[in-house]
Amino acid sequence: MGYRESQELGLTTDTRVFYPKAYDNKKFLHSAHARTIRILAEYLEPQSRLRLQKIRSTIVFFGSARSVGCDELEEHLAERERELRELQHSNDVIQRRLNLTRRLSQYYDEAVDLASMLTAHYSKERDPRDRHCICSGAGPGMMEAANRGAHRANGKTLGLSISLPFEQGVNRYLNPKETFEFHYFFMRKYWFVYLARALVVFPGGFGTMDEFFEVLTLLQTRKISRRLPIVLYGSEYWKSIVSIDTMIEWGVISDGDQNLFELCDTPQQAFDHLVREIDLANPRG
């Protein structure tokens, strides 16, 4: 081993210096040589903490990080209008986009209501196998709404955060004991899917689409073999950006693939569908 390689591993060629044990060598653990160990840590450490917290299964919420609740809407609208005017959009475009921002805010509040309803239903009074914890990506927007709703119902709520250079941090409705910070996207995705008993997908951008279509692909290819209900919340949004019927007409997906998810437009409608599907997938008695 050369001097340069020794330096990369946190070692030294000076034999008079004490050599650290491998698990105490931080320079090594953060090097390319230890990537496999770091990946394994993002499997074992969450597994250990989840067992200690007695969290066995989740209902996962996805959605835009850019939405706010109605209680913060006016300030957000003023900021949004300033941004649009700086981009020199016409008044018609500005008003349309502000109206859609208001609608996105309504979705935030509906996400809070749905998460609260599900938390109350799958509460700690139930059999441990039927206690499903609300889970989000731990950030702002619809993620915050999900954790906020669970918090309002006095339930545990899980946050799977990811370290990014431009995103806000963990939202205020999470407890550190139930919050995880990931470096590797694929390990975070593993924990989203592995624990999930249902998914709720609110209007969102690239990240939301990524998570939604990845889970659809896993279901379509039967890499997820269990029953996993998916709710696409907000038909006015989803029908305008995703045309599953067009994909079927072109023959790139099969007839019946549209049944992998359910469109819902109210918290009660989504709640009724999810409870029915979750209970069918996990019969007791």
**Statement: residue 7 has pLDDT above 90:** no
pLDDT per residue as tens digits for the range 258-282 = 999 999 999 999 999 999 999 888 7
Q: Give all domains of the chain, ordered by start, each with its CATH number.
A: 56-68+106-281 (3.40.50.450)
**What mean pLDDT do residues 53-78 have?**
94
How does pLDDT run across 244-261, given as a tens digit for each residue?
999 999 999 999 999 999
- Model confidence band, residue 130 (pLDDT cutoffs 50, 70, 90): confident
Give the pLDDT band (50/70/90) at residue 20: confident
Strands (E), the chain: 57-62, 132-136, 157-162, 179-182, 196-201, 230-233, 262-264
- Can you list the alpha helix ranges (DSSP code H) found in 226-266? 235-241, 244-250
Global model pTM greater than 0.75: yes
User: Does residue 285 register a pLDDT over 50?
Assistant: no
Alpha-carbon distance of 136 to 134, in angstroms, equals: 7
| Contact assessment for residue 197 and residue 131, using Cβ atoms and an 8 Å cutoff | no
Q: Residue 6 pLDDT > 60, yes or no? A: no
State pLDDT tens for residues 36-54. Answer: 999 999 999 999 999 999 9
CB atoms within 10 A of CB 134: 28
Strands 262-264 and 230-233, sheet pairing: parallel
pLDDT over 90 (residue 230): yes
pLDDT of residue 166: 74
168 within 8 A of 146, measured Cβ to Cβ: no
Query: Phi/psi zone of residue 148: left (φ > 0), alpha (ψ -120 to 50 degrees), beta?
Result: alpha
Beta bridge partner(s), residue 62: 201
DSSP-derived 3-state class of residue 159: strand
